[in-house]
Structure formats: structure tokens, C-alpha cells
Amino acid sequence: MNKKVVIGIVQHAPVYLDKDKCLEKAEGLIEQAAQKGANIVVFGETWFTGYPAWIDYCHEYAQWDFKPTKQAFARLYANSLEVPGKEVNQIGEWAKKHGVVIVMGVNEVVNSGPGNGTIYNGLLTWNEQGELANHHRKLMPTYTEKLLYGPGDGAGLKSVDTSFGKVGGLICWEHWMPLTRQAMHDSGEHIHIAVWPKVHEMLQLATRSYAFEGRCFAVAAGQIMRVKDIPESLVLPPELKDNPEHMLLSGGSSIVGPDGQYILEPQWDKEGIFTAEVNLERCYEERMTLDVTGHYQRKDVFNLSVNKERT
């Protein structure tokens, strides 16, 4: 295991609801991150092809049998990727080319077999050999997300072995689910990827708490989304329609050490690829006082069973 690792967070807007252009943009961003020395390249929640923040801003979406909302959903469906699929294979080739681990939030679609017609909020991890090493689906879509996404399963609740240690990840409010956190802690993470739409104050707290609890590095990846990225079929509220460059999602990406303190302070209101070098030896230094999978785990009192079947 290499003790020193460079983490790179991509805080750039995707090309919303256009999977071909989004894939093209991903190639350039992965290359830029690799040129900056990143060993692991991280993208935010549903970066491919964008987080559907319109469900929180265009309140007309909740109307029953409303054609503009159906059009927005159909466009999201058409521009989500299949797993496995050509986009997944292509990103794997770039991971292998640059010798990096890539963790990316995606909109995933199922076009055949069980789940046909369902979109999932997914988190994919490719290793340095370009293999899709983990495929996680968000266990519970949060609040209004339930209108768009199906519930996931436990198949992806694991970490991935890399040349520099174990990498795992969770999506957004999964970080408030205690047993989900424990399942990931039990997987032995050195680096945990926490993907969010925007990493506001409470989500910074969740990221810092996760790092402290798990005695690992926690990487919070936020998104950039502007008003102009909302599907054109939807009507904007008056306070937004004349301000197309206003950021609905303004990032907040950060990196936290296993003591719960920032290594990279939250990055707000700007696009960029933000990097920091970390020393994984610190994970073990901090486990002297707290190790929720070892000496601070009472397996004689508690028993956690996780169903890891893909449903």
C-alpha cells in the first residue's frame, strides 16, 4: 500500500442531459486531474448527466399528469447510462490509460430485464486497471428524488482494493443511515468518497463526522449547476428566470482527515479540479483511540447482517 496519495475532486458542471457531450467533457477532466498528479479522481452525485435539482426549484413538477415534467423525465431517462455499457467501458479505458482510480456519480438506466424503465442514482468505481470494481445504487432516494429514482440495494456496500489502499463511497443522505455507515466502516476504507449535489453546512458535518467515526479520509464532492441547466420544458420561478448564470448548486467540495479536521477547506462558487496529498498512515494513528470495526466494536453485543444481493 502506498501511504501517500493525491486526491483530485472534479467540481465542474457536467453537460446536463447530454450523455455524448458529458462523456466528452469527462475525458478532458480526467486527463486534467491526472496531469495534476491525482491518483484518484472523484465526481459528484449523478455527475453523469447531472443532478436533477429542478425537482426542488420548479415546483410545478408535482402536478399530476403534467406533460412538461414527463418530458424532463424522459430526457433524463434517454441520457442516463447503462451498466455495463459503452460509456462505462470508455471511462474504464481512461482510468487504465492514466493509471487512476475514478469514482463517479451517475444517472443509471435499466432498459431490459428486471427493473426495465427504472432510473437509479448510482456510484461507480473504476480501478487503475480500468475495471469496473464497484457498482453501488443509492439505497433510498431522498425526499423528492423518489419521483425519479428507484431504491437501490446492498450489492455495492463494499470498498475496492487499489494500489494505495481501500476506497469506498456512499451517496448523499446514505451518510445519515447508521447501519449503512457501519457496513462501509466494516469494509476497511482508507478513503471514503461522499458524493452530494451541494455540500452545505449539514453535509459538511456529515462528511467530517464520517471521517472521524471511520478513522479514514473523507472526500466530499459537490456539484455545479446553473439556472440555464434546468430542462427547457419546465417553467422557472420568477426569481430565477432572468438569471441564467445563477448557481443552484455551488460546490462545497472538501477533504477531511481521520481526525475530522479539514485538509482541503470547502470550495464554493467556482469550478476547478481541487487536489490534496494525504498520508494514509494517519488512518492507523487515529485508530489508536477509536476503531469502530476493531477494539471499539462490541460484536458480542451487536450483530450486523447485510444483504448484498443485486435486486
Just list the catalytic residues: 45, 138, 172
Cβ–Cβ contacts within 10 Å for residue 111, how many? Answer: 12
The single residue listed with the C-alpha cell 475496492 is: 160
Q: CA 180, 201, 149, 128 torsion: positive or negative?
A: negative
Cβ–Cβ < 8 Å for 17, 231: yes
Burial of residue 122 (number of CB atoms within 10 Å: 0-12, 13-18, 19+): buried
Locate cell 434546468: which residue? Answer: 230
| Positive or negative: CA dihedral 135, 164, 282, 202 | negative
56 Cβ contact list (under 8 Å, min separation 6): 144
Distance from C-alpha of 267 to C-alpha of 286, rounded to nearest angstrom? 26
How many angstroms from the chain centroid is the CA of residue 142?
14
Count CA atoms closer than 13 A to 181's CA, side-chain side: 21
Can you tell me which residue has the cell 501517500?
A: 4
Q: Rounded CA gap, 228 and 78, in Å?
A: 20
What is the Rg, in whole angstroms, of the alpha carbon atoms belonging to the chain? 19
Q: Find the DSSP H helices in 249-301.
A: 281-286
For residues 204 and 220, the answer to whether their CB atoms sit within 8 Å is: yes
